[in-house]
């Protein structure tokens, strides 16, 4: 059904163009600076349309290529930043784990000192009790 509508619309457009060409068949003078020619109006309009389409295509193509190049550059930049972010997270994680290990070692040393002081204190208390007796 969709293709049938396209066919109907296409035929309608072709009929309109042909009737437009028949209605605008008279010759018109065209001056281009150093000369003048005479051509049917429909030919002049067709050539103008063709040249305008080519010019539009060239401008849009160059613009599209520039945007494509810029997009590629930006994607590369985003990828590089993602890699840098991953590396920074890894470094931070490694630094964090190193710091945790250092703190755990410090805690273990302090625990050992606490146990040593508690042992000395309990032995001193035991000695003091023996002296009192």
pTM assigned to the model: 0.45
pLDDT, one tens digit per residue, over 65-94 is 888 999 999 999 999 999 999 999 999 999
> Measuring CA to CA, how many Å separate 32 from each of 2, 37, 44, 62, 94?
46, 8, 12, 28, 76
DSSP 33: S
Low-confidence stretches of the chain (pLDDT < 70) are 1, 125-133
Domain ranges of the chain: 2-132
Please give the pLDDT value at position 133: 53
């Amino acid at each position: 059904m969709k293709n049938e509508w396209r066919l109907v619309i296409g035929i309608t457009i072709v009929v309109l163009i042909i009737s437009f060409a028949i209605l605008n068949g008279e010759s018109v003078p065209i001056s281009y600076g150093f000369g003048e020619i005479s051509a049917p109006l429909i030919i002049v309009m067709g050539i103008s349309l063709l040249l305008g389409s080519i010019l539009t295509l060239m401008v849009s193509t160059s613009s599209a290529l520039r945007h494509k190049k810029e997009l590629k550059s930006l994607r590369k930049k985003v990828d590089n930043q993602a890699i840098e972010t991953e590396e920074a997270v890894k470094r931070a994680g490694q630094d964090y784990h190193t710091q945790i290990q250092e703190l755990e070692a410090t805690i273990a040393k302090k625990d050992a000192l606490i146990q040593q002081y508690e042992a000395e204190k309990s032995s001193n208390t035991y000695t003091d009790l023996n002296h009192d007796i």
